[in-house]
Structure 1
Amino acid sequence: MDDKAWPRILPFALFMAVIGLEEGLRFLDSRQWISLQESTLLLLYPLKPLAALVALFLLRRAYTELRWADLARPGPTLAAISLGLGVFVLWINMDWSFGALSEPPGFDPGVFADERLRLAMILVRIFSAVVIVAIMEEIFWRSFLLRYIINPAFAKVPLGAFTWPSFLICAVLFGLAHHFILAGIMAGMAYSLLLYRTKSLAQCILAHAVTNLALAVYVLRTGHWHFW
């Protein structure tokens, strides 16, 4: 694999590895091989963004395709914000059980009795979703995988190059990485279309961040924790 691939894969892989650890502990707990409280399992959550954040920071010079100056362009930036909000509206209306791999565990900070710990976990969750996840996932899905499907020497493929196989495969895989698969496919398609339109990874990150921020506000106001 191209050496340029690893900086784009590693943050995502570390994040998913911690998810795997959490799911493994949940499985052991369900079989009564170990006994863990939900609050103990949720305390693992900060490890996910922390691992990804460290990797993103150490590898930051590798992401030459990421141009934050693109956000100074008012037209594409407004389009990215609007698309992010549109994905949010569709997402909260696409929590269909037949499109879910399993019942989402959710992230209910109410399980923490200590108020300061509860607030800290909420802030970590929001920062993770809005900043770390948005950057990490767009680098992996839109910058790496979308191009890698076109050509394993992905760095030779211009950012935002379109082919039907890469568009559809990436969208389906993006959906499978989320509990609500159909909503995930929709979001994956939307962010990829934004990339094709703007040729800007920064605009995709912005749209993703807007979606996740709107979802965080919605969840905190309604208590629909299954979206978290």
Structure 2
Amino acid sequence: MNIATLSRIAPFTLYMIFVALEGFLHYLVNKGLLTIPDHYLLCLYPLKVLAVALVLFYFRRSYTEIRFKELLSLALFLFSSLAGIAVFILWINLDQPFATIGTLRGFDPNLFPAEGMRIFLIATRLAGAALVVPLMEELFWRSFLIRYIISPDFSKTPLGRFTWPSFLITTVLFGLEHNLFLAGMLAGIAYNLLLYRTKSLAACIYAHGLTNLALGIYVLQTGKWYFW
């Protein structure tokens, strides 16, 4: 595996390992095989975000396709902002049972009595969702996989090249990564279309981050923790 592939797969893989670990620990707690309060597992999130951020930082020189200066274009910035807000609006209106797989456990920091811990968990959740996760996911889905499906030598495929197989496969898999799978698929469509329209991975990262930031603020305002 070359460095271009590893640098885009490793952060996502590490993130999913943490997700699997959290699910396994929840299973042990529910079965009475692990005797800790279930909400203590929320403390895994800061570790997950830190670990992924460190891997991203380690490989930072490999991400030459990310050019945040592109967002200085007012048209690109506004278009990406519109995409990010549109996905947020879709997301909060697609929490019906038919559009959900698995259990929506949520991330409720109020389960911790100490105010300092609550603030810490909220801050790391917002930072992780708005900064780390969009970078990690967009590098995997719209820099690596969407091009790898077109050609295993993905780095020679220009960003934003369209094929039906790459579009459909990444849309479906991106949706299935989330408990709100229908919202996830529509988000995948939106971010894919943004990539095709702008040829800018920075635009996708920004739009994705804006979606997640808006969702985080919405959760804090409404107390609908299951969105987190």
Structure 2-normalised TM-score? 0.98
Aligned identity (percent) is 51
Aligned amino acid, residue 108 of structure 2: D
The CA deviation string for residues 147-167 of structure 1, in whole angstroms up to 9 with x for no partner, is 011111111110111001100
Distance across 2 between alignment mates of 1:71 and 1:36: 46
On the 8 A contact 2:29/2:38 being kept in 1, the answer is no
Instruction: Report the equivalent of 1:101.
Output: 101
Shift of 1:2: 4.4
Distance across 1 between alignment mates of 2:2 and 2:171: 22
Distance across 2 between alignment mates of 1:33 and 1:145: 38
Aligned amino acid, residue 162 of structure 2: F
Q: What pairs with 1:99-138 in structure 2 (closer than 5 Å)?
A: 99-138=99-138
Instruction: Report the equivalent of 2:32.
Output: 32
Distance across 2 between alignment mates of 1:47 and 1:13: 15
Distance across 1 between alignment mates of 2:201 and 2:63: 10
Instruction: Report the equivalent of 2:155.
Output: 155
Number of equivalences: 228
Distance across 2 between alignment mates of 1:32 and 1:171: 37
Distance across 2 between alignment mates of 1:152 and 1:28: 39
State the SS of the aligned residue for 1:44: helix
On the 8 A contact 2:3/2:62 being kept in 1, the answer is no
Structure 1 residue runs without a partner (length 5+): none
The CA deviation string for residues 35-78 of structure 1, in whole angstroms up to 9 with x for no partner, is 22123111111111111100000100000111111111110110
Instruction: Report the equivalent of 2:139.
Output: 139
Shift of 1:103: 1.9
Instruction: Report the equivalent of 2:71.
Output: 71
Instruction: Report the equivalent of 1:10.
Output: 10
Distance across 1 between alignment mates of 2:182 and 2:2: 31
Structure 1-normalised TM-score? 0.98
Structure 2 residue runs without a partner (length 5+): none
Distance across 2 between alignment mates of 1:111 and 1:148: 42
Distance across 1 between alignment mates of 2:101 and 2:70: 36
